[in-house]
C-alpha cells in the first residue's frame, strides 16, 4: 500500500509539471493585456504602459517566465496579482471559506436528495415514483445553472421580494440576525447548485442500486426472512455505493474550485468568481495559480478515490 502510494505520487509530479507548462504557455499565447484598459485612457502615455510591462517581466521569453514562475512556486511564492498587486495566495485564501460554505453545502444537499430518491426509485423500477424521479432528474440536469439561477432570481427576488440576489460575505448583522441573513442569501445559490448536482447523482445511485438489487445474495438475504429495511441498507446500499463514493470523491475538487457560473450570477465572492474576473482582466498570475491549484486537487482526489475504492472493495488490490 505504502509502495503504491509512493509510486502514484511520483507519477503525479511529471503530470503536474506538464499541466503547469501547458497552462502557462496557453496563457502567455492568449491575446489580451492586463494593462489594456490603460490604452484607452488618453491621460496615460504609452510609455507608462510599456514601463509596467517591462517591470512585471511580461516582455521576456515565455520559457524564461515559466522557469521563473516554477522556481518561485517551489519556494512557496505564488506571485502577485497584476490587477490588485496583492499576493495571489492571500487572494485565494480570502475566497476559500465562501466557496467551501456555498459549494460544500450544495454537495451535501445533493447527496441528501440523491441517496434516498435514487434508492427508493431503484427498489421499484418503473413505478410511478421512479417515473417522477426520473423526469425530475432529466429536467434537473438538462437545465443549466445560469438558467435556473435567473429563474429563481426572477421569482423570489424580483416578483416576490423574499430573498436578496446579491450575496454579501461581509454581513453587518450580529447574532441570530447574522445567521438568518447568511442562510437567506445562500438559499438560492445552494438550491441551484445542489439540485443540479442531485439530478445526476440520482441517476447514478439508481443505476448502481439496480445493478446490485438483482444479485443472488440479495435474494438469499430476503429468503432468510430478513427485514426489507435491513436488506436494503445493509446488503444493497453498502455495495451499491462503492461507485458513487468514487464519483463524489472526483467531484470534490469542484467544491474548492467553486462554481463559476453560479458565483457570477449571485455575486458570490468565491474561487470561481476570482477566476472569471482574473480571466477578464488578463491577470495571468491569478489565473495560473487558481487553475494550477485546481489541477493539483484533481490529481490528489483521483488518488484518494482510487485508495477509497480499494478500501471499500477489498477484491481490488494495489499493485
13 or 158, CB closer to another protein? Answer: 158
Footprint of another protein (CB under 8 A)? 31-52, 55-56, 80-81, 83-86, 91, 94, 153, 157-158, 161, 164-166, 168-170, 172, 264-267, 269, 273-274, 277, 280-282
From the CB of 100, what's the least distance to another protein, in Å?
Answer: 16
143 or 169, CB closer to another protein? Answer: 169
From the CB of 143, what's the least distance to another protein, in Å?
Answer: 19
User: What's the chain look like in SS3?
Assistant: CHHHHHHHHHHHHHHHHHHHHHHHHHHHHCCCCCCHHHHCCCCCCHHHHHHHHHHCCCCCCHHHHHHHHHHHHHCCCCCECCCCCCEHHHHHHHHHHHHHHHHHHHHHHHHHHHHHHHHHHHHCCCCHHHHHHHHHHHHHHHCCHHHHHHHHHHHHHHHCCCCCCCCCCCCCCCHHHHHHHHHHHHHHHHHHHHHHHHHHHHHHHHHHHHHHHCCHHHHHHHHCCCCHHHHHHHHHHHHHHHHHHHHHHHHHHHHHHCCHHHHHHHCCCCHHHHHHHHHHCCCHHHHHHHHHHHHHHHHHHHHHHHHHHHHHCCCCCCC
From the CB of 71, what's the least distance to another protein, in Å?
Answer: 19
139 or 183, CB closer to another protein? Answer: 183
3 or 159, CB closer to another protein? Answer: 159
173 or 233, CB closer to another protein? Answer: 173
From the CB of 45, what's the least distance to another protein, in Å?
Answer: 4
From the CB of 246, what's the least distance to another protein, in Å?
Answer: 34
Amino acid at each position: 500500500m505504502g509502495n503504491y502510494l509512493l509510486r502514484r505520487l511520483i507519477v503525479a509530479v511529471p503530470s503536474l509539471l506538464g499541466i503547469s507548462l501547458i497552462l502557462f504557455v496557453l496563457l502567455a499565447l492568449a491575446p489580451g493585456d492586463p494593462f489594456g484598459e490603460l490604452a484607452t485612457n488618453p491621460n496615460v502615455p504609452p510609455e507608462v504602459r510599456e514601463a509596467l510591462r517591462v517591470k512585471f517581466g511580461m516582455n521576456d521569453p515565455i520559457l524564461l517566465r515559466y522557469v521563473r514562475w516554477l522556481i518561485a512556486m517551489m519556494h512557496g511564492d505564488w506571485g502577485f496579482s497584476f490587477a490588485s498587486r496583492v499576493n495571489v495566495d492571500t487572494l485565494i485564501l480570502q475566497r476559500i471559506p465562501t466557496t467551501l460554505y456555498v459549494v460544500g453545502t450544495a454537495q451535501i444537499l445533493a447527496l441528501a436528495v440523491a441517496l434516498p430518491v435514487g434508492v427508493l426509485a431503484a427498489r421499484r423500477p418503473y413505478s410511478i415514483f421512479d417515473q417522477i424521479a426520473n423526469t425530475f432528474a432529466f429536467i434537473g440536469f438538462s437545465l443549466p445553472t445560469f438558467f435556473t439561477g435567473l429563474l429563481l432570481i426572477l421569482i423570489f427576488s424580483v416578483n416576490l421580494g423574499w430573498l436578496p440576489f446579491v450575496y454579501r460575505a461581509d454581513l453587518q448583522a450580529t447574532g441570530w440576525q447574522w445567521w438568518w441573513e447568511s442562510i437567506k442569501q445562500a438559499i438560492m445559490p445552494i438550491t441551484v447548485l445542489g439540485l443540479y448536482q442531485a439530478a445526476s447523482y440520482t441517476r447514478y445511485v439508481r443505476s448502481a442500486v439496480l445493478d446490485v438489487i438483482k444479485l443472488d445474495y440479495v435474494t438469499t438475504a430476503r429468503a432468510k426472512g430478513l427485514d426489507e429495511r435491513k436488506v436494503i441498507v445493509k446488503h444493497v446500499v453498502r455495495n451499491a455505493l462503492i461507485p458513487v463514493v468514487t464519483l463524489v470523491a472526483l467531484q470534490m475538487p469542484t467544491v474548492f474550485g467553486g462554481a463559476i457560473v453560479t458565483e457570477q450570477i449571485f455575486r458570490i465572492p468565491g474561487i470561481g468568481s476570482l477566476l472569471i474576473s482574473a480571466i477578464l482582466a488578463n491577470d495571468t498570475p491569478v489565473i495560473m495559480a487558481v487553475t494550477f491549484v485546481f489541477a493539483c486537487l484533481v490529481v490528489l482526489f483521483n488518488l484518494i478515490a482510487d485508495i477509497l475504492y480499494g478500501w471499500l472493495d477489498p477484491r481490488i488490490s494495489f499493485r
